[in-house]
Amino acid sequence: MGRAAAWSSFGSIVMRLGSFSVGIVAARLIAPDQFGVFAVALTVHAIIINVSDLGVSAYIVRHRGKLDAVGPTVTSIAMISAALLAGGMALVAPWLSRELGSVEAVDPVRVLSLTVLLAGISSVPSAVLTREFRQDKRFLADLLNFLSSTGILLALALTGGGALALAWSRVAGQAVSTVVLFAASPERFRPGFDRAVGSKVVTFGVPLIASSFLGFLIGNVDYIVVGRLLGAEPLGFYYLAYNAGSWPYIILSPIVASIAVAAFSRVRHDRAQFADRMSTSMAALLAIGIPANALIVALAHPLVGAIYGSRWAPAAAPLAWTAIYGALRLPADLLTNVTIAEGKTRGLLVLQLVYLAVLTPVTVWGVHVWGAVGAGVAHVIAIAGILLPGFLIILARTTGFGLRRLLAAAARPLAASLVAATAAHLVADRVGGVWPSLLAGGSVGVLIYLVLVASWGRRLATAARALWTSVEEPEPEPTSQELVGAHA
């Protein structure tokens, strides 16, 4: 299990770093309006993919006993549901694309429907590998997916493929991944059907689909609103800003997901130790995440210009807000995993519903008032005003980790980050050229932050080492991404 967790974290980080790098290259080759078209297509794709296998993957992973009795049925359900949904996605592509603000997205949506079909076909062997803790094989499939999709993307983008280049690259990667997963799976099943098994699978899967779709809405309401109200090009700028503001989260979230349950499993019934362990973990997470996001805010303009090019300059304004949101996502991610580990899933569901109910109208209001920047503002308002307080209310009574401990964990890195980010911004403003501004401001900011937290950081590192050496691995639990959702 430890080897599987290590492979899972390593693979997730490598793939995210690779996607980040390819995203930079793609932004240099593809116009902002085409990125917006693809964002619309990807949103439609996410709507369908969230329900495409009817929860059979999770059913296989959690099934007790041999798979021979259920394998044929779940294979049939996965294939049939994926085929129907892929066909439906292609048919309704014109309507969905129009409703989401880009009629140009019709062809990319239809191309992406092929990935829904392929994902359904490969969902069973993928789940079998997860069940057998063969994350190394999963990583191989993901790696070959990434390499093949990157090759196709670059080849098509260089010839002016635009949004279709992005769409076809996803299809190519998914096709390669499907072949690898089938080859690597220790068990393969012919389609078949047992009514009793089918009933169990559907009963198990429907609540998961509902939760997954709720997570999709939370993760994509901003894309939907920006695309519908502003159109493809502003959505393209926002799409880039959101992803750039999520860089620290992208790196840190798989680590949080893989260790959160293990870190707290041994002290679940000791409130004082649990709260202390939470405080140390939260402080360690924020000590890295807050300064990283603060520097993104401070250096948004030179960062966009240097990394993505001058034509992406309008993305800098929303980036400042999406980076603030990215910093707030880090404690929310840890609190989500702890809430799941504590079995507070009903409270989590209620909180998700309230969060969505607030986030949606605030996003509409924000976009009407400030354009794409307003979507970032809405995220900050909703997560700071609803999600984080909600988690603390759920957890404070049973774990002892409440607002006071969260503020204590965040105080030092937040104060030091504000000073460092201010200095970085002032230095960058006085240096000519985007690359010199970015490098000079970033260097000053990092140096000042490290000086300000040096003694505190040494004490924190000692406490963190003591914490992790006492961790004992538990059974795997769902991660926050499975229940809360992420952007398409």
223 lies in some domain: no
Same domain, 167 and 260: no
Q: Report the Cα 276 to chain-centroid distance in Å.
A: 28
Task: From 34, 36, 37, select the one nearest 236 (Cα to Cα).
Answer: 36
Please tell me whether residues 403 and 288 are part of one structural domain. yes
Alpha carbons 163 and 153: distance in angstroms, whole number: 10
In a shared domain, residues 237 and 210: no
Looking at the fold, whether 271 and 209 belong to one and the same domain comes out as: no
Q: Is residue 220 part of a domain?
A: no
Are 199 and 65 in contact, with CB atoms under 8 Å apart? no
In a domain, 135, yes or no: yes
Contact in structure between 19 and 148 (CB atoms under 8 Å): no
| Model pLDDT, residue 480 | 43
Domain boundary among 185, 214, 243: 214
Residues 389 and 396: their CA atoms lie apart, in Å, by: 10
Check whether residue 339 and residue 380 sit in a common domain.
yes
Asked if 102 contacts 37 with a C-beta cutoff of 8 angstroms, the reply is yes
222 within domain boundaries: no
pLDDT in tens, the chain (488 residues): 456 556 656 666 777 777 778 888 888 889 999 989 999 998 888 878 777 767 777 788 777 778 888 889 999 998 999 999 999 999 999 998 988 888 999 999 999 999 999 999 999 999 898 888 787 888 899 899 999 999 999 999 998 899 999 999 999 999 999 999 999 998 888 899 888 888 888 887 777 677 778 878 888 999 999 999 999 999 999 999 999 999 999 888 877 766 655 566 566 667 777 888 889 889 999 999 999 999 999 999 999 999 999 999 999 999 999 999 999 999 999 998 888 777 787 888 899 999 999 999 999 999 999 999 999 999 999 999 999 999 999 988 888 889 999 999 999 999 999 999 999 999 999 998 999 999 999 999 999 999 999 999 999 988 887 766 655 444 444 444 443 444 54
Percent helix, percent strand, percent coil in the chain, to nearest 5: 85, 0, 15
216: nearest Cα among 359, 324, 99: 359
The pLDDT value recorded for residue 203 is 82
Domain count, the chain: 2
Tell me which H or E stretch contains 138. Answer: helix 135-158
Mark whether 236 and 144 lie in a shared domain: no
Are residues 271 and 327 located together in one domain of the fold? Answer: yes
Q: Are residues 384 and 250 in the same domain?
A: yes
pTM for the full model? 0.84
In a shared domain, residues 247 and 187: no
Clarify whether residues 208 and 263 are in a common domain.
Answer: no
The verdict on 197 and 266 lying in the same domain is: no
**H helices, E strands: number in the chain:** 21, 0
Return the pLDDT at 214.
Answer: 84
The answer to whether residues 434 and 470 belong to one domain is: yes
> Does residue 219 sit within a domain?
no
Whether 221 is in a domain gets the answer no
Q: Among 180, 214, 248, where does a domain finish?
A: 214
- Domain residues for 9? 2-214
Give the model's pLDDT for residue 477. Answer: 45
Is residue 225 included in any domain, yes or no? no
Q: Is residue 224 part of a domain?
A: no
Separation between Cα atoms, residue 125 and residue 232, nearest integer Å = 37
Residue 64 dihedral angles phi and psi, to the nearest 5° = -90, 135
Last residue of a domain, one of 214, 248, 274: 214
